[in-house]
Structure 1
Amino acid sequence: MSENELYDRIEKRNPNETEFLQAVEEVISSIGKVLKKHPEYHQLKILERLAEPERLISFRVNWVDDEGNVQVNRGYRVQMNSALGPYKGGLRFHPSVNQSILKFLAFEQVFKNALTGLPLGGGKGGSDFNPKEKSDQEIMRFCQAFMSELYRHIGHFTDVPAGDIGVGSREIGYLFGAYKKLQNEFTGVLTGKGPKWGGSPIRPEATGYGLVYFAENMMASNGESLEGKTCIVSGAGNVAQYAVEKLIQLGAKPVTMSDSSGFIYDEEGIDEEKLEHIMYIKNVSRGRIKEYTEKYSKAKYTETDSSKDFKPIWETKADCAFPCATQNEVKVKDAKNLKKNGIKLLAEGANMPTMADAIDVLQEAKILYAPGKACNAGGVAVSGLEMTQNRMGVYWTKDEVDEKLKNIMKRIHDDCRKTIEEYELNSHDYLEAANIFGFLKVADAMKAQGIV
Structure 2
Amino acid sequence: MKYIKYINNLIKEKYPVQLEFHQAVKEVTESLEPILKKYNKYEQNAILERLVIPDREIFFRVTWVDDDGKIQVNRGCRIEFNSAIGPYKGGLRFHPSVNPGIIKFLGFEQIFKNALTTLAMGGGKGGSDFDPKGKSDGEVMRFCQAFMNELYRHIGAHTDVPAGDIGVGGREIGYLYGQYRKLTNRFDGVLTGKALNWGGSLVRTEATGYGCVYFAQNMLKEKGEDLEGKICTVSGSGNVAIYTIEKLQQLGAIPVTISDSKGMIYDKNGIDLALLKEIKEVKRLSLEAYAKEKKNAQYTPVSKYKDGINPVWHVPCFAAFPSATQNELNLKDAKALLKNGCKCVSEGANMPSTIDAVHEFINAKICYGPGKAANAGGVAVSGLEMAQNASMTPWTFEYTDKRLYQIMEDIFNNASQTAKEFNAEGNLVVGANIAGFRKVADSMIDQGVL
Secondary structure of the 1:166 match is coil
Q: What is the aligned partner in structure 2 of residue 156 from structure 1?
A: 157
Per the alignment, residue 282 of structure 1 pairs with: 280
* Cα-to-partner distance string for 1:357-413 (whole Å, 9 max, x where unaligned): 011111222221100000100000000000000001111111110000000000000
Partner of 1:355: 354
Secondary structure of the residue that 1:84 maps to in structure 2? coil
Query: What amino acid is aligned across from residue 292 of structure 2 in structure 1?
Result: E
The alpha carbon displacement at 1:292 in A equals: 1.3
Pairwise CA distance, 1:10: 2.3
In 2, distance between residues paired with 1:301 and 1:309? 16
- Tell me which residue corresponds to 1:396: 395
Which residue pairs with 1:175 in the alignment?
Answer: 176
Q: What TM-score does the superposition give when structure 1 sets the normalisation length?
A: 0.98
- Asked whether the 8 Å contact 1:188–1:198 carries over to 2, the reply is yes
**Which whole-Å CA distance do the structure 1 matches of 2:70 and 2:344 have between them?**
49
* Cα deviations by residue, 1:96-138 (Å, 9 ceiling, x for unpaired): 0010000000000000000000000000000000000000000
2:445 to 426, 444, 447: 447
- Preserved contact between residue 331 and residue 356 of structure 2 (Cα < 8 Å): yes
CA contact (8 A) 1:102 1:125 kept: yes
Mapped partners of 1:145, 1:307: distance in 2:
41
Alignment match, 2:416: 417
> Separation in 2 of the partners of 1:390 and 1:52?
31
1:265-291 alpha-carbon deviations (Å, 9 max, x no partner): 111112xxx211111101111111121
Q: Which residue of 1 is the match for residue 329 of structure 2?
A: 330
Query: What's 1:66 paired with?
Result: 67
Say whether residues 1:300 and 2:298 are aligned partners. yes
SS in 2 for 1:126: strand
The whole-number CA distance in structure 2 between the counterparts of 1:404 and 1:341 is 35
Structure-1 separation of matches of 2:409 and 2:425: 20
Map 1:371-410 onto structure 2 (within 5 A).
371-410=370-409
The equivalent of 2:31 in structure 1 is 30
The equivalent of 1:246 in structure 2 is 247
Instruction: Please state how far the C-alpha of 1:307 moved relative to its aligned partner.
Output: 6.4
- In the TM superposition, residue 309 of structure 1 has moved relative to its aligned partner by 4.1
User: What are the ranges of 5 or more consecutive residues in structure 2 without an aligned counterpart?
Assistant: none
Aligned amino acid, residue 358 of structure 2: I
1:291 aligns with 2:289: yes
- The 1-side partners of 2:4 and 2:389 are apart by 42
Tell whether 2:229 aligns with 1:212.
Answer: no
Q: Which residue of 2 aligns with 1:366?
A: 365
In structure 1, what is the Cα distance between the partners aligned to 2:65 and 2:350? Answer: 32
What is the distance in 2 between the residues matched to 1:30 and 1:311?
28
CA 15–307 in structure 1, closer or farther in 2 if over 3 Å, else same: farther
State the alpha-carbon separation in 2 of the partners of residues 242 and 94 from structure 1: 21
Residue 17, structure 1, aligned to residue 39, structure 2: no
One-letter amino acid of the counterpart of residue 397, structure 1: T
Query: How far apart in 2 are the matches of 1:259 and 1:426?
Result: 36
State the distance in 2 between where 1:280 and 1:208 align.
Answer: 18
Change (3 A) 1:225 1:307: closer
Letter in 2 for 1:319: F
Cα displacement string for residues 227-277 of structure 1 (whole angstroms, at most 9, x for unaligned residues): 11100000000000000000000111100011011111111112xxx2111
CA contact (8 A) 2:3 2:43 kept: no
Task: Determine if contact 1:106/1:122 at 8 Å carries over to the other structure.
Answer: yes
Instruction: Provide the C-alpha distance between the structure 2 equivalents of 1:34 and 1:420, rounded to a whole number of angstroms.
Output: 11
The whole-number CA distance in structure 2 between the counterparts of 1:120 and 1:365 is 34
CA contact (8 A) 1:10 1:48 kept: no
Moved more, 197-206 or 360-369: 360-369
Structure 1 residue 234 and structure 2 residue 232: aligned?
no
Letter in 2 for 1:322: F
Counterpart in the other structure of 1:202 = 203
The two structures have a TM-score, normalised by structure 2, of 0.98
Amino acid at match of 2:445: K
What stretches of structure 1 move > 4 A for 4+ residues in a row?
A: none
Q: Give the counterpart letter for 1:301 in structure 2.
A: Y
Output the CA distance in 1 between the equivalents of 2:99 and 2:292: 37
Instruction: Indicate the larger mover: 8-17 or 338-347.
Output: 8-17
- What's the % identity of the aligned pairs? 57
1:140–1:171 CA contact under 8 A, matched in 2 = yes
- Whether the 8 Å contact between 1:75 and 1:128 is mirrored in structure 2 is yes
Q: Say whether the 8 Å CA contact 1:309–1:333 is kept in structure 2.
A: no
The aligned residue for residue 108 of structure 2 is: 107
Deviations 1:414-439 (A, max 9, x none): 10111122111042x11111000000
Task: Figure out how many residues of one structure are paired with residues of the other and give that number.
Answer: 448
Counterpart CA distance in 1 for 2:164 and 2:436 is 23
| Pairwise CA distance, 1:47 | 0.6
C-alpha distance in 2 between matches for 1:192 and 1:215: 24
Moved more, 286-295 or 168-177: 286-295
Provide the secondary structure at the position in 2 that maps to 1:209: helix
